[in-house]
């Protein structure tokens, strides 16, 4: 049977170990530095890629119970995603319909019974409907049914919360088949465990570039995870606008002797998915990481990293253990290495030393990612 999807990519890596499949060819591409620094371009990217396309907000298990809410201004407008008493997740503009005050003040996860505006205490239910107006008799021609919170398109699919601020959310078109891969990794069965939100002084694409490049793995990560990988043995495919990448782990040496069904998506390679435009899912051996980037300025990005686990922690001791593995990757690998080079590259770009950044044959997945962005933000 011919394999497709992640299994086929893994087989290709195994064939390369045996010399039965060709590796990438040498090439040279240039990305002009203005792609990472031009303010007008940044506004186009934010508008067209981050407001008019579905984004991964996180894993649905982060908000398991009625009233669980995530308050997030990460796209530059006040939003709240919450679970109602029927169990549905929805996103609203976190803004009162009376005189426009921001409703819930604290950022991040919280639990609510209702949403009460601090200004005049108009009160909204968890489903966004307007429930109470103090001194309502003093308003004429006021129809509470039309004054529910402004909804923002939201859908849960493959365990992830997808949100689109403008336009209608067409997830099937956006996913273009990616869902089958996410199901192959049982993404919906995982549990949210830990999260960090950090502000990074770098263009969002520099962070994506770092996740699309297997060239650096044994080099930049030489003192941490680099030792688990052979040098730049990687394959990638496009799924619609998304990228499926697999970087072979040292265990790939076993693979040529194994039957297709014995190849293991987590043991023989580390798979990652660049979910266009701003997210990355990394299926590491310890835990799957969900990373979502929210561009704030040409040179500033919010980096939101969540850890998922197979089971919720059963004890404080287990929670501590999960926290330690999260910290090891979050701080020791992502912040200290991948984000570190994004920040350093932004400094390099701002120095004027280079007119363009160079990409070779081991970095073509990043070049393809940039080509998709160019197509998406081009004026038609």
Q: Which residues contribute to the site for ligand FES (CB under 6 A)?
A: 96, 98-99, 101, 117, 119-122
Residue 161 phi, psi dihedral angles, 5° rounding: -95, 120
Q: How far is the CB of 336 from ligand FES (least distance, A)?
A: 44
Binding site partner of 122, from Fe ion, ligand FES, none, Cβ cut-off 5-8 A by kind: ligand FES
- For residues 277 and 49, the answer to whether their CB atoms sit within 8 Å is yes
Closer of 134 and 352 to ligand FES (Cβ): 134
Classify residue 20 as left (phi > 0), alpha (psi -120 to 50) or beta: alpha
Q: d(Cα 333, Cα 318) in Å, to the nearest integer?
A: 22
For tokens 């308050």, what's the residue? Answer: 71
Nearer to Fe ion, 149 or 210 (CB): 210
Q: Which residue, 49, 113, 102, 27, is CA-closest to 72?
A: 102
Distance, CA of 57 to chain centre: 7
User: Widest CA span of the chain, in angstroms?
Assistant: 80
Q: Which does 338 bind (CB under 5 to 8 A by kind): Fe ion, ligand FES, none?
A: Fe ion
Of 9 and 133, which CB lies nearer to ligand FES in the complex structure? 133
Closest CB to Fe ion among residues 270, 306: 270
Write the CB contacts of 124 (distance below 8 Å, at least 6 apart in sequence): 103, 114, 115, 116, 117, 130, 131, 148, 149
Consecutive H or E run containing 197: strand 191-200
Burial of residue 143, with CB atoms counted within 10 A of its CB: 0-12 exposed, 13-18 middle, 19 or more buried: exposed
117 binds, among Fe ion, ligand FES, none (CB under 5 to 8 A by kind): ligand FES
Q: Which of residues 147 and 188 has its CB atom nearest to ligand FES in the complex?
A: 147
Q: How far is the CB of 363 from ligand FES (least distance, A)?
A: 51
Is the CB of 235 or the CB of 338 nearer to Fe ion? 338
State in angstroms the smallest separation of the CB of 159 from ligand FES. 35
CB of 149 to ligand FES, least distance (A): 11
Q: Which is nearer to ligand FES, 48 or 98 (CB)?
A: 98
Binding footprint of Fe ion on the chain (CB under 5 A): 338
Is residue 84 within 8 A of residue 142, CB to CB? The reply is: no
Query: With CB cut-offs between 5 and 8 Å by kind, which of Fe ion, ligand FES, none does residue 139 bind?
Result: none
* Spatial distance between the Cα atoms of 14 and 258, rounded to a whole number of angstroms: 9
Minimum Å distance from CB 116 to ligand FES?
A: 9
Alpha-helix runs per DSSP H in 197-339: 204-211, 217-220, 316-327
120 binds, among Fe ion, ligand FES, none (CB under 5 to 8 A by kind): ligand FES
Distance between CA atoms of 96 and 80, rounded to whole angstroms? 12
Least Å distance between CB 96 and ligand FES? 3
Nearer to ligand FES by Cβ, of 79 and 269: the residue is 79
State the pairing for strand pair 79-83/29-32: unpaired
CB 341, min distance to Fe ion, A: 8
- Least distance to ligand FES from the beta carbon of 63, Å? 24
Closest distance to ligand FES from the beta carbon of 139 (Å):
11
Partner in contact with 48, chosen from ligand FES, Fe ion, none, beta carbon below 5 to 8 Å by kind: none
Whose CA is closest to 112, among 120, 100, 124, 102? 124
**C-beta closer to Fe ion: residue 79 or 289:** 289
- Nearest Cα residue to 209 out of 378, 49, 36, 27: 36
Q: Are strands 279-283 and 269-275 parallel, antiparallel or unpaired?
A: antiparallel
């Amino acid at each position: 049977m011919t394999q497709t999807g992640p299994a086929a990519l893994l087989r290709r890596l195994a064939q390369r170990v045996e010399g039965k499949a060709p590796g990438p060819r040498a090439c040279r591409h240039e990305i002009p530095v203005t792609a990472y620094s031009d303010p007008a371009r940044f506004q186009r990217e934010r508008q067209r890629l981050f407001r008019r396309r579905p984004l991964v907000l996180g894993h649905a298990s982060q908000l398991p119970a009625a009233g669980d809410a995530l308050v997030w201004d990460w796209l530059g407008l006040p939003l709240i995603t919450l679970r109602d008493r029927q169990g549905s997740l929805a996103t609203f503009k976190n803004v009162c319909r009376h005189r426009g005050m921001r409703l819930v003040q604290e950022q991040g996860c919280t639990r609510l019974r209702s949403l009460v505006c601090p200004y005049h205490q108009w009160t909204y239910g968890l489903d966004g409907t307007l429930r109470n107006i103090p001194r309502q008799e003093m308003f004429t021609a006021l129809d509470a049914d039309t004054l529910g919170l402004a909804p923002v398109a939201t859908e849960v699919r493959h365990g992830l919360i997808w949100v689109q601020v403008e336009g209608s959310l067409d997830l099937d078109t956006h996913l273009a088949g990616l869902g089958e891969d996410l199901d192959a990794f049982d993404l919906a069965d995982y549990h949210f465990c830990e999260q960090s939100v950090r502000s990074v002084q770098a263009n969002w694409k520099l962070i994506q570039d770092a996740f699309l490049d297997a060239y650096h793995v044994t080099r930049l990560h030489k003192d941490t995870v680099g030792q688990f990988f052979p040098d730049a043995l990687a394959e990638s495919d496009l799924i619609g606008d998304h990228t499926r990448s697999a970087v072979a782990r040292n265990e790939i040496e076993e693979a040529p002797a194994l039957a297709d069904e014995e190849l293991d998506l987590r043991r023989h390679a580390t798979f990652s998915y660049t979910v266009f435009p701003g997210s990355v899912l990394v299926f590491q051996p310890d835990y799957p990481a969900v990373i979502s980037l929210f561009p704030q300025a040409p040179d500033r990005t919010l980096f939101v990293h969540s850890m998922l686990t197979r089971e919720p922690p059963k004890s404080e001791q287990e929670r501590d253990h999960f926290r330690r593995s999260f910290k090891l990757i979050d701080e020791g690998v992502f912040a200290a290495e991948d984000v570190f080079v994004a920040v350093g590259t932004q400094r390099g770009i701002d120095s004027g030393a280079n007119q363009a950044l160079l990409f070779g044959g081991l970095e073509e997945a990043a070049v393809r990612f940039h080509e998709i962005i160019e197509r998406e933000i081009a004026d038609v």
